Structure 1
Amino acid sequence: MDAALPPGDGVGVFNRVYLSVTEEVGRSLAAGYFGDAAATEDLDVRFAGRYLAAVDAAAAGRRPPACWRPLFAARERARVRPLQFALAGINAHIGHDLALALVDTCRARGAEPPALAADFDRVGLLLTRIEERVREELMPGPDPLEAVDPLTHLVGSWSLLRAREAAWSAFRALWGLRGMPELAAELAERVDASVGLVGRVLLTPLP
């Protein structure tokens, strides 16, 4: 996918960021960083699968989840900066896909949410360092300040930490509703829609 997506493609921007994150998690798995490497790897694969399913849906002309639609719709907009594309993809993946992947992992492994909590936090520490690097690499330089200021304001309003906290809360709520599938599906739909709304804001065209 990385080789096939052109440099200016918004999905390609996110894909390159996600590839670097996945490689970093892979190195951490090999180094014994996680308490339960098997469960973390299982979660990582299920998590990635939701992004790849959204890519496949868009490529086939089907509608991806609402959280992903803003990124696919805006992928060729000239007045959207690379950092906006990256954060919109991270927002969709963390805000929606992560909660569902956590539920799927618990179900598949017969585990309860506390079994994933410690390694969830360990991944968060990795992502915080990577987010700082991504912002530094994709943020425009100091000239001209008039063009950069709106971008600084826009991307500064979104927080990876808060998005992960919201994803964990959504996961716990969905897990608590697992015996009531209609309510769980309604909650998942609402999370999807709200994350999509944030994505549209992050992709606001800038002067």
Structure 2
Amino acid sequence: MRAAVLASGRGSNLKALLEAAERGSLPIKIVAVGSDQAGAKALELSRGAGIPTRVFPSKDYPHRQAQEEDLLIWMREHRVELLLLAGYMKVLGPQFIRQANFPILNIHPSLLPAFPGLHAQRQALEYGVKVSGCTVHFVDEGLDSGPILLQEVVPVLPGDTEESLARRILEAEHRLYPEAVRLLVAGKVKRVGRRIQLLQQEGSE
């Protein structure tokens, strides 16, 4: 499956996806990587892997809709069948979601629906939860509100800081995201309203 990735930062989840694809455990081809940040390390990583990249700086567009229209054109040019958000720090608008003719996945560093949005690890520590984790979900028109595909629990340890918790959650993300994508591409994901059923084998219910 032809996948595009949008990332705003260092690209560690992109790297995990690329490594899984190279091992043959993830049947996708990442055909394009985009970012809203020209200095994103994810772009450097992609260029090193020979993947076409493009920057869509917000300052170059009169409004978000124009930026997202450009994104859609770019994805159609690359014949994208799947969009993966990997640390992309902009919320995709309702019109983009409606016009995209491919699934969109995101990974978030909390056990949604708890602690959506920015600084999820800080939110978890301030709330005093005993466990946190990460969630792979389908993207809908809300903020981190789409149907949940997979989650992994990460314990909150005594003395954890935002940085130490974030590091351990990131390790879980690197396992969870490729597995979620693999299940989707293998046809083992069935959506029933907000609920996601994971099929045990092809064609099973």
TM-score (norm: length of structure 1): 0.29
Q: Which has the higher strand share?
A: 2
Q: Which has the higher contact order (CA 8 A, sep 6+)?
A: 1
Q: Which has the higher helix share?
A: 1
TM-score (norm: length of structure 2): 0.30
